[in-house]
Amino acid sequence: MDDKVTLPALHRMKEDGRKIVGVVAYDYQMAQIVDRAGVDIVSVGDSVGVNLWGHRSELEVTLDQMVLVCQAVRRGVTRALVSCDVPFGPLQEGTDAAVRAAVRLIKEGGADLVKLDGASSFPEAVRAITRAGIPVWAQFGITPHTAFQYGGMTAAAPALATTMKDQRILEAKLLEEAGASLLDFTNSGPVAGPEVVRAVRIPVIGGLGGGPWLDGRVRAVVAAIGYL
């Protein structure tokens, strides 16, 4: 329980069949609590904008805001890995902007790794960030950033898991080849989820639409305690 969590340790957990536990937190106090509880990853999500600040969507959250939130969580965590989301914007602006944003989240925010939403559309950014020495948690599947393409996340998830299974496997392999250390398969489902887990060597974790077929789960602490 007292040992510092590392990425190699998470990879060994996948090999051993031990589940990885991630929690989304946004502040110092909650970060302390979940770290002491023994979670493996504390994820600083851009969902802070909707869940705590009253934004209409995560798209409104800025990089400066993510740096500030990450700093608060970092102060509360001593054992778990701290991941911080690169918000909407830098990744879409190009590889150089994505690398600069990742560097800020590591250098100023104190993150151990950065999380890229919709990463399968930006493999070159994943590759460039990892070449800069920054570990990447690469998300793919339906997200708030991409849900509009499918008419809503929840309604689309079952059909997506069935009809796009092979595509998701290809995306997972692409992200692994690009250097991602972890994958976040959103809305994986019991059809595509297990096959993606078997297709790659790196851990595959999921929140919304995840389940026991993945290498681990991540959940927002504000939802877990009934805050929302």
Q: HSE of 116 in the Cβ direction (CA atoms, 13 Å)?
A: 35
Residue-wise DSSP of the chain: --SPP-HHHHHHHHHHTPPEEEEE--SHHHHHHHHHHT-SEEEE-TTHHHHTT--SSGGG--HHHHHHHHHHHHHH-SSSEEEEEPPTTHHHH-HHHHHHHHHHHHHTT--SEEEETTGGG-HHHHHHHHHTT--EEEEEE--TTTGGGGT-HHHHHHHHHHHTHHHHHHHHHHHHHHT-SEEEEET-HHHHHHHHHHH-SS-EEESTT--TTSSEEEEEHHHHTT--
Q: Select from 59, 63, 75, 62 the least CA-distant residue to 26.
A: 75
150 pLDDT tier (thresholds 50, 70, 90): very low
pLDDT tens, 65-88?
999 999 999 999 999 999 999 999
Q: Does the pLDDT at position 6 exceed 90?
A: yes
Q: pLDDT over 90 for what percent of the chain? A: 80
**pLDDT classification of 37: cutoffs 50, 70, 90:** very high
pLDDT, position 1:
53
pLDDT for the residue 144: 52
Domains of the chain as residue ranges with CATH: 7-224 (3.20.20.60)
Q: Which long-range contacts (CB under 8 A, 24 or more apart) does 105-108 make?
A: 105/63, 105/66, 105/67, 105/70, 106/134, 108/67, 108/71
Band of pLDDT at residue 149, cut at 50, 70 and 90: very low
Q: How confident is the model at residue 114 (pLDDT cuts 50, 70, 90)?
A: very high
153 has pLDDT over 50? no
* Mean pLDDT calculated for residue range 38-59: 94
pLDDT at position 138, please?
98
Q: pTM here?
A: 0.89
pLDDT of residue 223: 78
Average pLDDT over every residue of 30-43: 97
The average confidence (pLDDT) of the chain is 90
